Amino acid sequence: MEKRIGSMPLTFDWPPPGAPLREPGRIFMRRPRQPAPSPGFARPAGAETAAAFEPGRERIAPAAKRIPRRGAMLDELVRTIGADGASRLIEAFGGARLYIPHSPEPGDALSAAVGHATALALAGVFGGDRIDVPNPPPRRVRILQMRARGASVDSIALALGCTRRRVFQVLAEARTIDRGR
C-alpha cells in the first residue's frame, strides 16, 4: 500500500537521479547549506576533533607577531637601498609594477620619489627590469607600529590620514586582544 500526502505519493527517493530539482508542480527539498566560515577563520593545526576546536575562540598572536612576513622582494629592497629607501619606494609605488631604468636621471619619477642616489642603487641591481613593489602594510598595523615607537594619537592620525577616533578604536581593539590571552 502506498501512502499519499494530498495527491503526491510519499516516497523518499525523490528527486530521481539526474532529475532537475524543480519541476512544474513539484518541489523537492535540498539539503541545508553549511554556513560559510568567517574570513580569517581557520582550524588550528593539530585540531582533529570538534572538541579540540571551539569557533570564536581562536588564539590570536600578540601584535608584534601578527604582522605578516611580506616576502623576499621586501627583503631584497631593504638589502639594496636600506629600510628608509624601501619605505619611501613603497609609499610612492606600493602595489605597482615598476620599471627600473638602467641609468635613472635626476628628474625621473623614481629619483623624485626615493632620491637620486637610491634610484642609482636600485638601477645597479634591478636596472632594465620591472619589479613588483610590495603593498604598504595595512593602516591598522602602521597605527600599532607608530604607537609602539611612542608617537602621539594626533601625529598618527595626521601622518596616516585618518581620524583620532579611528586611532583610538585600533588601540582599543589591540588592548582587548592582548587582555584576552
Q: What is the model's pTM? A: 0.47
d(CA 63, CA 6): 63
With a CB cutoff of 8 Å and minimum separation 6, the contacts of 174 are: 63, 144
* pLDDT of res. 22: 57
* pLDDT of res. 117: 94
d(CA 161, CA 3): 70
- Going along the chain from its start, the domains and CATH numbers come out as 64-132 (no CATH), 139-179 (1.10.10)
Q: How many CB atoms lie within 10 A of CB 110?
A: 22
Determine contact, residues 126/118, Cβ cutoff 8 Å: no
Residue ranges of the alpha helices (H) in the chain?
Answer: 63-66, 72-93, 109-114, 116-126, 139-148, 153-160, 164-179
Nearest to 55, CA basis, from 40, 33, 73: 40
Alpha-carbon torsion 33, 35, 36, 37, what sign?
negative
* pLDDT of res. 35: 60
d(CA 121, CA 88): 14
d(CA 57, CA 59): 6
What pLDDT, in 10s, does the model give residues 157-171? 999 889 999 999 999
Q: At what angle do helices 139-148 and 164-179 cross, to 10 degrees?
A: 80
What pLDDT, in 10s, does the model give residues 118-133? 999 999 999 999 999 9
Residue 25 banded pLDDT, cuts 50, 70, 90: low
Strand 22-23 with 26-27, pairing: antiparallel
Determine contact, residues 28/21, Cβ cutoff 8 Å: yes
Cell 610590495, residue located: 134
